[in-house]
Amino acid sequence: MNAAEDQAKRWNSTAGRAWVDAQDQLDRLFKPLEDLLVEAVAAHAPREMLDVGCGTGGTTVAIARRLGTTASCTGVDISVPMIEAARARAERDAAPVAFIVADAQTHTFEAARFDAIVSRFGVMFFSDPVAAFANLRRGARDGARLQVIAWRGPADNPFMTTAERAAAPLLPNLPERKADAPGQFALANDRRVHAILDASGWSEVEIHPLDVVCAMPASELVTYVSRMGPVGTALQEADEATRARVVDVARQAFEPFVHGEEARFTAACWMVTARGGRQ
């Protein structure tokens, strides 16, 4: 199985279902980042916007709501269960948003359609990022704006690796995080991100650190540990005794982030912007 097939399988099974089940929790957790992206996009008043790796559609719908009837908004994701949840969300909110199930790396978008391409944590999973961003560039107009929020590295984001570090002795088969490999921290190296965008036809690339405090009720940490990330995936196949032990050990490891009834951490990200150069 190649990297692209592995990502498709993952997001159409355990990981995708976990995000759907936890969408309300994750929407609240990452709302500060969503708000920043919505305002940044709205400042340029696009007419045709594409949200890449849109997941369950929270950011797509929020941007559509902010732009109103002046813009057409589309979300794309490889995960069928997440897109189904996104469509249900848009219907509940009466939001005029279109969602498509597709791999943004290879999908044939209408040429030169979009004047804004955005993503919040949706572009770190490409097996060939240069090909992916080149494909997105073909779907963008000359001068279109690319605006992406992506994670910096694991050392900058200890909250994100707390569960797997604590659980590693109990789950020896946890997958190793490999630098630059598809996954949460694939775009951690800003020089690599710059090179990817240069090679794929984007210009005026700017990459700035973005540090935003995010929070969840401390009572939700057990659910977070049980379902999300590498530990959550591994626990789906663990026996009950192992599962209980891992959850207990991992939950205790989050104590440094707990303040009263709230768990808080700083999301250390990049805000990446670029323009579509002439093709």
- Report pLDDT digits (tens) over 110-126: 999 999 999 999 999 99
Question: Which pLDDT score is estimated for 1?
Answer: 59
Provide CB contacts within 8 A for 117, sequence distance 6+: 49, 50, 52, 136, 139, 140, 144, 145, 146, 147
Percent of the chain with pLDDT over 70: 98
* 218 domain-assigned: no
Q: Are 130 and 200 in contact (CB under 8 A)?
A: yes
Q: Determine the pLDDT at residue 252.
A: 96
Residue 258 lies in a domain: no
Structure tokens at 251: 């939950």
Q: How confident is the model at residue 177 (pLDDT cuts 50, 70, 90)?
A: confident
Q: What CATH code is carried by the domain that includes residue 190?
A: 3.40.50.150
55 contacts 19 by C-beta, under 8 angstroms: yes
Please give the tally of structural domains in the chain: 1
Q: According to the model, what pLDDT value does residue 69 have? A: 85
pLDDT of residue 203: 97
pLDDT computed for residue 67 by the predictor: 94
Using the predicted structure, report yes or no on whether residue 178 has a pLDDT greater than 80.
yes
Is residue 29 assigned to a domain?
Answer: yes
Query: How does DSSP classify residue 89?
Result: H
Average of per-residue pLDDT values in the chain: 93
The share of the chain scoring above pLDDT 90, in percent, equals 82
Quick check: is 203 in a domain? yes
Q: Would residue 167 count as lying in a domain?
A: no
How confident is the model at residue 238, as a pLDDT? 87
- Evaluate if residue 31 carries a pLDDT over 70: yes
Q: How confident is the model at residue 53 (pLDDT cuts 50, 70, 90)?
A: very high
At 145-157, the pLDDT tens digits run 999 999 999 999 9
| pTM for the predicted model, two decimal places | 0.94
Contacts of 237 (CB under 8 A, 6+ apart): none
Q: Tell me, yes or no, whether 262 lies in a domain.
A: no
Compute the average pLDDT of residues 170-198. 93
What is the per-residue pLDDT across 198-249, written as a single tens digit (0 to 9) for each? 999 999 999 999 999 999 999 999 999 998 989 998 998 889 999 999 999 9
The domain in which residue 182 lies consists of 3-152+178-213+267-276
Q: Is residue 221 part of a domain?
A: no
CA distances to 63, 132, 202 from 143, in Å: 20, 18, 9
3 pLDDT band, cuts 50/70/90, is: low
Assess if residue 47 is contained within a domain: yes
* pLDDT score, position 279: 57
